[in-house]
Amino acid sequence: MPPTPDDRRGYAGAASRGDPDRPEDRAPTGEAPASPAAPAMREVAYALAVRTALREEMLRDQRVIVMGEDIGLYGGVYGATRGLQREFGEQRVRDTPISEAAIAGMCIGAAISGMRPVAEIMYCDFLSIALDAIANNAAKLRYMSGGQLSIPMVIRTAAGGHGYAAQHSQSLEAWVTHIPGLKVVTPGTCADARGLLKSAIRDPNPVVVIEHKALYQTTGPMPAAETLEPIGVAKVTREGADVTLVSWSAMAGICLEAAQELAAQGIEAEVIDLRSLLPADFDTVLGSVRKTGRLVVAHEAVSYGGFGAEVVAQLAERAWGSLKAAPTRVGARFAPVPFAEPMEEYVLPGKKEVIEAAQRCVGTG
Amino acid sequence: MAERLPTEQLLGLYEDMLRVRFFEEKIDQELFPAGLIRGLTHLYIGQEATGVGVIRALEPQDYVLSTHRGHGHCLTRGSDPARIYAEILGRRDGLCRGKGGSMHLCDMSTNFVGANPVVGADIPIAAGLALACKYLESGAIAAVFFGDGAMNTGAFHESANLAALWKLPVFLICENNRYAISVSVERASAVTDLANRACAYGIWHETVDGMNVSAVYDAARRAVEVCRSHQQPVLLVANTYRFVGHYTKDTLRYRPPEEARDMFREHDPIHRAERDLADNCGLPMEALIGIRERVKREIDDAAAAALKSPPPPAEWALEDVYAADA
């Protein structure tokens, strides 16, 4: 479900369709912003934001290497690694065979010996093939060794429905947020695609970065200067007093659009982009709901057992008394993602579902 | 055929094997029956020649990765036996602060990256370590032990292909003890000569009698030489046998009882080394008995020390989940 434009809020999907494959040599590195209060921004494609982060970190640290399927010569199926092999060579930007289990497992070994590997798993649906390495090993080796090992590795992968049917469309963040030892971030803007990935690469723990495939070729503002976004800090992207909309990834942009329509109906929504799910900044959510008394949590993943349930549970346990209405979840219907467009649209949630949920919550729906 | 090892060297290997045997027998005969060990414990009794022969052929900077049957590897690599026992007993002074137990031993002071009980999972990790060794030009290699069962995992094949493709210095050691828990190699593998698997990836390989420590040491030294100096993967298949069950509660219904008895009588690697030392090296039996007694005392003392270690505080459970930012 591709988001529609909202460039003012910093979300990918801006009207400017610009060439997402604009040369990576335009990626900024280390320029100081004009003023700290209002950093200079430039309009880039989400894929270029990812590429900028990789390039900056590779320039900064020789230990950073990138591996995955079709990421070198071809530049990645979304162009997120385009030009990196040419710049950094085949030793640091490695095209792999189709061997997800070995890709993830090798990252662990490389990380143990002090390198900073970044793997691309083309679709998050294929995490299933790499999950033993990620969930049983990367997440647990530090713990099981009593703190002797560190696994500073990053798995980049792509979620989201985009016309690819059931095995290339899932949003599987709940698989990895359930595992102690992992960190999980879900950037929904160009600034976060770069800033969170940079933090992930520098983090001493395994981090799963779930990008969104509908965003790669959309554009949005990114700070001109090198900027890191902290893992575990949510962002209030719109203030409002009537209802809190919590989301992440592409759905965070959709919530902002929904908030604009709700405002026209007299409902002022506060919008929070959680950005990071493990650890998650529940304090910001709770602070907002204490003000609004109402919560809608929206994600593209299946509602049942999704991470939205955790957000609602945290709220119920810690801010029950603040609630003026039952918290509401918006998520995919309980089916695999179908291929045909009307069915995909029916299964995956969008702006309409967020608006309806907010209306129900405030009692106008 | 390999030249005979100098007496001094064979004695060292013999002592290492004894240490592993006594370490494991203490678990089998005392600690486990006394109810002091929780969960699963997989013993290395019978396979000592493989672990000892391979590990003694490595350098200190090399990485070693192991399996659920990893006590012997960890011990031979040089960990303090008292701290291994403490880990297996779930005590405070355990190598991993009581968080890993028998199946997850780790000791980075000896570059023993760890035992890994998800069969085959250690192989890609070793390949990644080898990638780092090569990239960082450390001169080290990564040696990874796995069983015949792991040869059938996708992780083995994906890693073997990548290691060969990228010329990674990873030393693959298949300890073929004939059974993956209860399923024999004949019932699990279409090709029972497991070294053949290396041919598919163009990997240097050798098969060795894993019950003969001199032969294993010799083959391992050749393998290490190829691996390190040519920067490429190597596979050593050591045909071995576990005299005991897969784990401490195994009923062993899947193999004839006389099989283990005959293997022990005819192929025990420790008896074999003793015979070699007595007959070919001319060592008096009293000298061997002296070594046995000394190593036995060492193990007894280690177990006694471990048993004095208190259980870890429950709150430790929430530590070491994440590394703090540097």
* B2 domain residue, yes or no: no
Host domain of residue A292: 235-362
Do A202 and A242 share a domain, yes or no? no
B155 has a chain A CB within 8 A of its CB: yes
* A25 domain residue, yes or no: no
* A30 domain residue, yes or no: no
A108, A146, A180: residue with CB nearest B99: A146
Instruction: Quote the minimal CA–CA distance from B100 to chain A in Å.
Output: 4
Do A271 and A348 share a domain, yes or no? yes
Identify the closest residue of chain B to A115 by CA–CA distance. B132
Q: Which of A75, A78, A76, A119 is nearest to A99 (CA)?
A: A119
| CATH code of the domain containing B73 | 3.40.50.970
Q: Tell me the chain B residues in contact with residue A132 when contact means C-beta distances shorter than 8 Å.
A: 118, 121, 155
Q: Which residue, A170, A193, A223, sits at the end of a domain?
A: A223
Our count of domains for chain B comes to: 1
Residue-wise pLDDT for B164-197, tens only, equals 999 999 999 999 999 999 999 999 999 999 999 9
* A211 domain residue, yes or no: yes
Active site residues of A: 100, 168
B320·A150 Cβ contact <8 A: no
* B57 domain residue, yes or no: yes
* A26 domain residue, yes or no: no
Chain B from 18 to 77: CB within 8 A of any A CB: 63
Q: Which of B141, B133, B131 is nearest to B225 (CA)?
A: B141
Instruction: Quote the minimal CA–CA distance from A148 to chain B in Å.
Output: 7
Our count of domains for chain A comes to: 2
A107·B128 Cβ contact <8 A: yes
pTM: 0.93
Do A83 and A15 share a domain, yes or no? yes
Quick one: how many helices (H) and strands (E) in chain A?
12, 14
Do A241 and A338 share a domain, yes or no? yes
Q: Which residues pair with A211 in a beta bridge?
A: A158
Q: Alpha helix (H) ranges present in chain A?
A: 46-60, 84-88, 100-112, 127-131, 141-144, 173-177, 190-202, 250-264, 282-292, 307-319, 341-347, 351-362
Instruction: Give the dihedral of Cα atoms B289, B290, B296, B302; nearest 10 deg.
Output: -170
Q: Tell me the chain A residues in contact with residue B112 when contact means C-beta distances shorter than 8 Å.
A: none
ipTM topping 0.85: yes
Q: Which residue, A223, A258, A287, sits at the end of a domain?
A: A223
Query: Is A191:A221 a contact under the CB 8 Å cutoff?
Result: yes
Instruction: Using alpha carbons only, give the angle A26, A30, A33 rounded to the nearest 5 degrees.
Output: 95
Do A209 and A267 share a domain, yes or no? no
Instruction: Quote the minimal CA–CA distance from A176 to chain B in Å.
Output: 15
Q: Tell me the chain A residues in contact with residue B142 when contact means C-beta distances shorter than 8 Å.
A: 109
Of A215-219, B255-259, B260-264, which has the strongest mean pLDDT? A215-219
* A31 domain residue, yes or no: no
Host domain of residue B240: 7-310
Instruction: Quote the minimal CA–CA distance from B258 to chain A in Å.
Output: 38
B131 has a chain A CB within 8 A of its CB: yes
B127·A105 Cβ contact <8 A: yes
Identify the closest residue of chain A to B132 by CA–CA distance. A110
Instruction: Quote the minimal CA–CA distance from B97 to chain A in Å.
Output: 5
| CATH code of the domain containing A115 | 3.40.50.970
Output the DSSP codes for A200-240: HHHSSS-EEEEEETTTTT-EEEEESS-----TT--EEEE--
- pLDDT value at position B2? 55
* A1 domain residue, yes or no: no
Tokens 């506060």: give the residue. Answer: A270
* B94 domain residue, yes or no: yes
A104·B124 Cβ contact <8 A: yes
* A27 domain residue, yes or no: no
B97·A109 Cβ contact <8 A: no
* B322 domain residue, yes or no: no
SS3 category, A99: coil
Mutation target to probe the B interface, by most B beta carbons within 10 A, among A113, A118, A129 is A113
Buried b / exposed e over B3-34, threshold 16 CB at 10 Å, is eebeeeebbebbbbbbbbbbbbebbbeebbee
* B268 domain residue, yes or no: yes
Identify the closest residue of chain A to B138 by CA–CA distance. A113
The Cα–Cα gap between A353 and B167 comes to 53
Do A157 and A121 share a domain, yes or no? yes
Q: Tell me the chain A residues in contact with residue B325 when contact means C-beta distances shorter than 8 Å.
A: 203-204
Query: Is B277:B288 a contact under the CB 8 Å cutoff?
Result: yes
Chain B from 262 to 321: CB within 8 A of any A CB: 319-321
- pLDDT value at position A35? 55
Do A293 and A332 share a domain, yes or no? yes
Do A191 and A275 share a domain, yes or no? no
A101·B124 Cβ contact <8 A: yes
Going residue by residue through chain A, which has 365 residues, state the pLDDT in tens, using 9 for 90 and above: 333 333 333 444 433 333 444 444 344 444 444 455 678 999 999 999 999 999 999 999 999 999 999 999 999 999 999 999 999 999 999 999 999 999 999 999 999 999 999 999 999 999 999 999 999 999 999 999 999 999 999 999 999 998 999 999 999 999 999 999 999 999 999 999 999 999 999 999 999 999 999 999 999 999 999 999 999 999 999 999 999 999 999 999 999 999 999 999 999 999 999 999 999 999 999 999 999 999 999 999 999 999 999 999 999 999 999 999 999 999 999 999 999 999 999 999 999 999 999 999 999 86
Q: Which residue, A180, A199, A223, sits at the end of a domain?
A: A223
CB proximity list for A36: less than 8 A, separation 6 or greater: none
Do A61 and A202 share a domain, yes or no? yes
Q: Please check the confidence at residue B71 and state whether its pLDDT lies above 80.
A: yes
Instruction: Using alpha carbons only, give the angle B305, B307, B312 rounded to the nearest 5 degrees.
Output: 110
When comparing pLDDT for A25 and B243, which is higher? B243
Q: Tell me the chain B residues in contact with residue A65 when contact means C-beta distances shorter than 8 Å.
A: 135
B142, B155, B162: residue with CB nearest A96: B162
Do A117 and A58 share a domain, yes or no? yes
The Cα–Cα gap between B101 and A248 comes to 39
**How many Cα atoms sit within 13 Å of A149 on the Cβ side?**
36
A109·B127 Cβ contact <8 A: yes
pLDDT above 70 as % of chain B:
99
Do A245 and A325 share a domain, yes or no? yes
| CATH code of the domain containing A249 | 3.40.50.920
